């Protein structure tokens, strides 16, 4: 069944390639399909300004997180080429032929290069999806296609999955601030200063505040156990300085057990809501996360970032550079109690990242 679904999506993708060729469309983009109103993942819309109405001007290579979204995107969006379908068909064929995964990867890259050649692509823009850099960038370089990459999440030498940022280089790489420009220049010596551009993607929201009570927001992240969230809540629920909120991951399925724990402790939760609106609307003063990009972004909105951990912090580099605070979960109540001390040191963080005093 999956094979035939992929085949249908693949054939429509090929038709879209042919249609773009006929219309002389030579600009291309890459983004991830997500279950949002525009179907374009929020990181792409925020950092590259790509919107649904712009898609008709581009050939749009996409990676989807489900068959349902693949079908929805290819039927409702313009000029969509679903990469998953191409890979799955090659993979299925090679499994039957008992070929190695490395051969599947090589064949996948060859087919994409043929599609790029056929389309006469002259310009390519994408978020820096670390999974796709080893696939796209060698093709772009061989075909001498002008390309721009957009930083979509934090950059750190401590994050092993970001190793591709050290290997592959965009013609231009757009980062959030001077701190991350310095980081990418340190990580990848192929970049020169002129290749890395700074563009702050964050918006000053003017939404009305509905709570005068100071708030703490805990951010849900992948691979964190329920018992860990319970420990965090137990540290916070007996303090009376802050109201506790919890932000669920908008693209993850809701964990009913987690919801039950939050309800039991009278913690208000948010799911699909814009997190930056939430910060403003509910007077959030402190954000707690393990390694979320929000630890960086929240300081722009005058929210104090605390990187929490059980045994050791996920990104030590950010502590050394003093752009976040840190706390062991067992010491969290004490850390929150010293809120006034944190606010005094917080000005340095804002200045380092956003030049805000």
Q: What is the CATH number of the domain that holds 49?
A: 3.40.50
Percent over 90 (pLDDT), the chain: 76
Average pLDDT, the chain: 92
184 lies in some domain: yes
Q: Report which of 179, 181, 128, 125 is spatially closest to residue 153, judged by C-alpha positions.
A: 128
> Which domain CATH number covers 291?
3.40.50.2000
Assign 253 a pLDDT band (cuts: 50, 70, 90). Answer: confident
Lowest mean pLDDT across 59-63, 104-108, 147-151, 251-255: 251-255
Residue 207 lies in a domain: no
DSSP secondary structure code for residue 230 in this structure:
H
What average pLDDT score do residues 100-126 get?
96
Q: By mean pLDDT, which of 61-70, 201-210, 331-340 is the weakest?
A: 201-210
- Domain end position, chosen among 168, 198, 228: 198
Residue 204 lies in a domain: no
Label residue 202 exposed, middle or buried (CB < 10 Å: 0-12, 13-18, 19+).
Answer: middle
- pLDDT of 198 > 70? The answer is yes
267 and 330 fall within a common domain: yes
Same domain? 171 vs 275: no
Do 192 and 222 belong to one domain? Answer: no
For the segment 138-173, what is each residue's pLDDT rounded down to a tens digit?
999 999 999 999 999 889 888 888 899 999 999 999
Is the distance from CB of 155 to CB of 162 less than 8 angstroms? Answer: yes
209: in domain: no
In a domain, 334, yes or no: yes
In a domain, 15, yes or no: yes
Please indicate, yes or no, if residue 121 is contained in any of the structural domains: yes
Residue 4 — very low, low, confident or very high, per pLDDT cuts 50/70/90?
A: confident
Domain of residue 45 covers 2-198
Q: Is the pTM of this model over 0.75?
A: yes
Looking at the structure, tell me whether residues 8 and 116 fall in a common domain.
yes
Assigned token pair, 338:
């010293």
Judgement on whether residues 79 and 166 belong to the same structural domain of the protein: yes
Asked if residue 324 belongs to a domain, the reply is yes
Q: What is the mean pLDDT of residues 320-339?
A: 93
259 by Cβ neighbours in 10 Å (0-12 / 13-18 / 19+) ranks as middle
On whether both 174 and 246 belong to a single domain, the answer is no
- The DSSP symbol for 15 reads H
Last residue of a domain, one of 142, 168, 198: 198
Indicate whether 239 pLDDT > 90.
Answer: no
The answer to whether residue 5 scores a pLDDT higher than 90 is: no
Q: Give the span between the Cα atoms of 291 and 312, in whole angstroms.
A: 12
The verdict on 138 and 239 lying in the same domain is: no
- Does 277 share its domain with 249? yes
pLDDT of 22 higher than 80: yes
Kindly tell me if the per-residue pLDDT of 357 is higher than 50: no
Is the same domain home to 115 and 237?
Answer: no
Determine the average pLDDT of the residues in 254-281: 93
The answer, yes or no, to whether residue 236 has pLDDT greater than 80, is: yes
pLDDT-above-70 percentage for the chain: 99
CA quadruple 328, 334, 339, 344: dihedral positive or negative? negative
Would the pLDDT of 1 be above 70?
no
For range 235-262, the mean pLDDT: 90
**Confidence label for 355 from pLDDT (cuts 50, 70 and 90):** confident
In this structure, the answer to whether residues 91 and 57 fall within a common structural domain is: yes
Give residue 185's pLDDT. Answer: 96
Residue that is last in its domain, among 143, 164, 198: 198
Instruction: Summarize the confidence of residues 42-67 as an average pLDDT.
Output: 91
Q: Which distant-in-sequence residues (6+ apart) come within 8 Å of 198 by Cβ?
A: 174, 175, 176, 177, 178, 181
Average pLDDT over residues 11-35: 96
In a shared domain, residues 170 and 225: no
Per-residue pLDDT, 304: 97
Q: For residues 257 and 355, which has the higher predicted lDDT (pLDDT)? A: 257
Q: Assess whether 170 and 266 both reside in one domain.
A: no
As for how many domains the chain has, the answer is 2
């Amino acid at each position: 069944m999956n094979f035939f679904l992929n085949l249908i999506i693949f054939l429509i993708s090929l038709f879209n390639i042919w249609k773009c060729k006929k219309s002389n469309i030579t600009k291309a983009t890459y983004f991830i399909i997500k279950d949002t109103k525009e179907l374009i993942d929020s990181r792409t819309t925020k950092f590259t300004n790509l919107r649904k109405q712009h898609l008709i001007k581009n050939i749009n290579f996409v990676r989807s997180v489900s068959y349902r979204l693949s079908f929805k995107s290819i039927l409702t969006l313009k000029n969509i080429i679903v990469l998953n379908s191409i890979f799955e068909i090659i993979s299925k064929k090679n499994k039957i032929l008992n070929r190695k995964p490395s051969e599947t990867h090589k064949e996948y890259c060859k087919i994409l290069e043929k599609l790029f050649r056929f389309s006469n692509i002259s310009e390519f823009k994408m978020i820096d999806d670390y999974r796709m850099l080893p696939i796209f960038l060698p093709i772009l370089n061989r075909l001498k296609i002008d390309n721009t990459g957009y930083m979509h999440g934090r950059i750190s030498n401590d994050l092993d999955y970001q190793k591709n940022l050290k290997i592959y280089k965009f013609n231009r790489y757009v980062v959030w601030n001077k701190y991350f420009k310095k980081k990418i220049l340190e990580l990848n010596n192929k970049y020169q200063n002129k290749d890395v551009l700074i563009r702050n993607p964050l918006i000053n929201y003017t939404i009305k505040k509905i709570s005068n009570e100071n708030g703490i927001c805990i951010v849900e992240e992948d691979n964190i156990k329920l018992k860990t969230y319970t420990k965090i809540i137990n540290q916070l629920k007996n303090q009376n300085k802050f109201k506790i909120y919890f932000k669920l991951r908008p693209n993850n399925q809701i964990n009913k057990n987690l919801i039950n724990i939050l309800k039991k402790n009278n913690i208000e939760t948010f799911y699909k809501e814009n997190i930056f609106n939430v910060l403003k609307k509910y007077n959030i003063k402190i954000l707690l996360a393990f390694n979320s990009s929000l630890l960086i972004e929240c300081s722009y909105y005058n929210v104090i970032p605390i990187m929490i951990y059980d045994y050791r912090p996920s990104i030590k580099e950010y502590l050394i550079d003093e752009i976040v605070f840190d706390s062991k979960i067992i010491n969290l109540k004490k850390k929150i109690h010293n809120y006034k001390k944190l606010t005094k040191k917080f000005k340095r963080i804002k200045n380092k990242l956003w030049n805000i005093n």
